[in-house]
Amino acid sequence: MPRKTYAELRREVAQRYPTGQTAGGVSVDDIVQLRLQNSWESHLEIAREMSVVMRADMAAYDQDASKFTQSLGCWSGFHAQQMIKAVKRMRGTAKGTYVYLSGWMVAGLRNRWGHLPDQSMHEKTAVADLIQEIYTSLRQADEVALNDLFRALKSAQTEEARDAAIAAIDGFETHVVPIIADIDAGFGNEHATYLLAKELIKAGACCLQIENQVSDAKQCGHQDGKVTVPREDFIEKLRACRLAFEELGVDQGVIVARTDSLGAGLTQKVPVSARPGDLASHYNKWLKVEPISDANPIREGELALYQGGEFVRPLRLPNGLFPFREGTGRARVIEDCVANLTEGGADLLWIETDTPNVDEIAGMVAEIRKAVPNAKLTYNNSPSFNWTLNLRKQVREEWLAAGRIKASDYPDGNELMKADFDATDLGREADQRLQRFQTDISARAGVFHNLITLPTFHLTAKSVDELSRGYFGEEKMLAYVKTVQREEIRRGVSAVRHQHEVGSDLGDTFKEMVSGERALKAGGHANTMNQFAAE
């Protein structure tokens, strides 16, 4: 809903307190400031508003594929806050930027049981807690920024300066953006999925991403041993998410249906087919089976299927799981996606791939769009890919096929990763393709949203390693100043004024509101933060 302007809100409050203050001496101007700084009554209201934002972005992408959206996976509210601040400094707006909440990073970094793999072993409450934390941090960024704008208004000496300050307040763009929240495989059955979905939505999530793996056998999308559920089971979980959105009044809520079938060769259940051509029959047709005959009879405790006019035995592993036929992953992905959109009511697709290949994904999307012309994807630009090696191999193969190079010009295999090839024609071509990868995949493969699942995990590891090597090595304090503080100052990173970043000026303002001249403030002349210029 549209925000009230400074003038509208001040007029409304002044009608209640025509003397300019409450009976207890609270100023009308202070009430207006705090009202504008507190834009949402609850995080559920954020979910409702951000779902509208995301739907508008999806409609814009349908008209122009260059208008794709992006996010980075953030494992703390501070990471999300700094990401949005960086985008706003660079672009002047955060529109088209989201936050991705990765289940991998919740498992690895945000649970009480230590660092765990991405197998849904962490407390599911940690996911809702992180959404809540992210929005608390983004809202605090709003409060800090608006407080600075109100300080400019209070110090304005001319009508022109006052008008400019009010215009800046009215034109302020929030740091709050949509969150795509990873709910894994739902952490249980469809009812457990529904209950968890409600908690994530109440915490602020306008978009839920759910995958078609078996909950109690869930694996990271880039590991082996993945087990999928029958399509009917997954559709029931999609419905559970939709009911959670509808119950809470988030009627524009977005559901991302992820399929892991490209790399999943197993299923836990053989669904019951009620008639030829239903979801179960299409799922079962890909099972690895063998004919039943006098020479290979059915035995006690075994399962038989009637397919193509004969009885066959689906292979069964010692753990009770059923394997699919090799090479069927692509076909299963396409069928999954069509069913998720047409029968499950999903809004976006997620195809988990094993390499970053635009042609491969575009080919699958072209098949899906034969059934659903406006099918759109969220794509994981995953750190699990060796991007340098993959793209260099792709360029090498294409140039060999085109006769542009000889096999001896560039090595095959991992040696191609070496820094020796960074400045070569092939290295530069691969880097150019990396630079335009998201643009290409959005134009050619229907990718509405590009994300990186674990960037802040890897960035933290690299940055701490870089600082530690210098600080505990020869450079000592120079390492910190050179790698951190100078860069913060020169890039205009507001966190260099760390007390201001976490709200010390907010505290001073509030003390002034209630104590006036008696306020004991932190921001006086002796505050060392004054050594840094304001953002």
Mean predicted confidence (pLDDT) in 23-30: 90
C-alpha distances in Å from residue 303, one per residue of 272, 288, 312, 339, 449 = 12, 13, 9, 26, 43
The Cα 30–Cα 36 span in angstroms is 10
- pLDDT tier at 533 (50, 70, 90 boundaries)? low
The kind and range of the H/E element at 466 are: helix 455-471
Nearest CA to 205 among 378, 78, 51? 51
The Cα 505–Cα 117 span in angstroms is 40
pLDDT at 308: 86
The Cα 92–Cα 159 span in angstroms is 26
pLDDT at 527: 57
Q: With a cut of 70, say whether residue 531 has pLDDT above it.
A: no
Mean predicted confidence (pLDDT) in 444-472: 94
The kind and range of the H/E element at 16 are: helix 6-16
pLDDT digits 0-9 by tens, 208-259: 999 998 866 656 545 556 889 999 999 999 999 999 999 999 999 999 999 9
Threshold 0.75, pTM exceeds = yes
The Cα 118–Cα 103 span in angstroms is 7
Q: Is 528 exposed, middle or buried (0-12, 13-18, 19+ CB in 10 A)?
A: exposed
C-alpha distances in Å from residue 308, one per residue of 276, 280, 311, 393, 403 = 10, 15, 8, 42, 46
Q: With a cut of 50, say whether residue 67 has pLDDT above it.
A: yes
Mean pLDDT of the chain: 91
pLDDT at 118: 65
Rg (CA), the chain: 28
β-bridge pairing 254-259 and 266-267? unpaired
Residues acting as catalytic residues: 220
Q: With a cut of 90, say whether residue 6 has pLDDT above it.
A: yes
- pLDDT tier at 535 (50, 70, 90 boundaries)? very low
Q: With a cut of 70, say whether residue 268 has pLDDT above it.
A: yes
The Cα 28–Cα 120 span in angstroms is 50
Mean predicted confidence (pLDDT) in 89-94: 96
Tokens of 345: 């009511």
For residues 6 and 29, the answer to whether their CB atoms sit within 8 Å is: no
For residues 232 and 279, the answer to whether their CB atoms sit within 8 Å is: yes
Q: With a cut of 90, say whether residue 515 has pLDDT above it.
A: no
Q: What percent of the chain has pLDDT over 90?
A: 74
Mean predicted confidence (pLDDT) in 487-496: 85
pLDDT digits 0-9 by tens, 136-156: 999 999 999 999 999 999 999
Show Cβ contacts of residue 156 under 8 Å, excluding neighbours closer than 6 positions: 162, 164, 165
For residues 445 and 65, the answer to whether their CB atoms sit within 8 Å is: no
Q: With a cut of 60, say whether residue 109 has pLDDT above it.
A: yes
Tokens of 71: 């996010």
Mean predicted confidence (pLDDT) in 378-402: 94
pLDDT at 289: 94
Higher pLDDT, 257 or 514: 257
Q: Which residues pair with 450 in a beta bridge?
A: 70, 379
DSSP helix/strand/coil, 55: helix
Q: With a cut of 70, say whether residue 470 has pLDDT above it.
A: yes
For residues 106 and 130, the answer to whether their CB atoms sit within 8 Å is: yes
